[in-house]
Amino acid sequence: MARLPGIDAPEQVVCHVDMDCFYAACERLRDPTLDGEPLVVGMGYETGETHGAVATASYEAREYGVESAMSITEALERLPRRGEGDTDMDGSNGVYRSVDMDFYKAVSEDVRSVLSRAAETVRNVSIDEAYLDLGDLEWSEVTAFGRSLKREIEADAGVVASVGIAPDMTTAKLASDADKPDGLVVVEPDDVRSFLAPIPIDELHGVGPVTASNLRELGFETAGDIAAAEESVLVDAFGKRGRDLYAQARGEDDRTVEPKGDPKSVSSESAFVEAIEDAARKRERIEALAADASERATAKNALYRTIGIKVVEPPFDVHTRSQSLSGPVDDPELVERTAVELLTEFEADRVRKLGVRLSNLSFDDREQATIAEWGTDGENGREGDPRWTRTSGRQARLSRFE
């Protein structure tokens, strides 16, 4: 595999996953009638509110000039809010929704579950963005991997991702931006420079309006212009940032994909092809998910204090239940028993998806590995034992899976 001149970094296949208009996509998942509508997610448009900003604007809303981080006042001037009962057949008014972070985090957990199955090393950088190290995957296999990953994200989480795959993190991120929405762009090592060359300077990482204006004053319009220049010109004008820009424009990025700290939870989820009511099938699936989640925790050398399940009913009503212990354990049989017990509340319900999550993780003490070492006063160490607590509360819409 060819490497770019001057790059000593180990060969990599890096995948960047970016969820398209994520908050808007989540709102459409919850309310499919919003598909195709100019949709704005933000705060400050509610009655009595005078300040706020746009968090996400759908592509339809962007056609009216509404953008992320824009003041809600300006957004409403460009795209007036549709009133209650207003069908607005010509689409000239927009639909506004308030930010619901618990909802979006729960959908993000679904995405992260897919990513953790797809690659051993995942770096989650935000609620809607992540890098994957694809290890020894051959470049001839990369496109098929990307398509499969996109299908799994849409099937399991209900939202669409754009994916970029390249030999370095910077180029992978630019690749995921190159064909939005719902894009897949693969940049092989020998094609990095030709891929980067036409990219406008204001699309490079860290280039805002002021820097872009300064670069244009120096005659730079594209990444290719920067790559063809002398590095000293960029350094003289921008200092260390100039050196970073020069390297970025040439695809010279020796960073490796590394996770950000220890994981906060370990989960395993699975959707049924169609919603089911069969209690035996639901139990069989939750047992398999419990075993998989336990195996994942053991592989990460993690103990857990909280065992939870996630139940998704049509169309996308999500309920969570959890049970916590005062001390960390590593006990797959306990995970299975607890998950099955928590599931009994939904025995007669139609279910389209199930999940098991282990949280409140500890990586410090592997000796306290089973529930027996914490002592038991009630049946299975749970009922009647003050060290156990059950978290409940049925929720009508998506809530944080914890």
Among all residues, which ones are annotated catalytic?
129
CA distance 101 to 23: 9
Which contacts of 136-139 are long-range, i.e. CB under 8 A and separated by 24 or more positions? 137/13, 139/1, 139/13, 139/186, 139/188, 139/189
Please name the residues in contact with 24: beta carbons below 8 A apart, sequence gap of 6 or more: 34, 39, 40, 41, 56, 57, 58, 61
Q: What is the DSSP code (8-state) at residue 66?
A: -
Instruction: Mark out the alpha helices in 63-138 (DSSP H runs).
Output: 72-78, 101-118
> If you ran DSSP here, which 8-state letter would residue 90 be given?
T
Bridge partners, residue 269, by sequence = 355
Query: Which among 179, 196, 157, 200 is positioned nearest to 316, based on CA atoms?
Result: 157
d(CA 320, CA 182): 30
Rounded to whole angstroms, the Cα distance separating 82 from 91 reads 9
Strand ranges (DSSP E) for 250-386?
265-276, 303-313, 317-329, 351-362
Q: Are 270 and 353 in contact (CB under 8 A)?
A: yes
Three-state secondary structure call for residue 78: helix
Whether residue 391 contacts residue 324, with contact meaning beta carbons closer than 8 Å, is answered with yes
How is residue 26 annotated by DSSP? H
> Strand 265-276 and strand 54-57: pairing?
unpaired
Residue pair 68/50 in contact (Cβ under 8 Å)? The answer is no
Count, residues in the chain: 402
Q: Phi/psi at 330 (nearest 5 deg)?
A: -135, 95
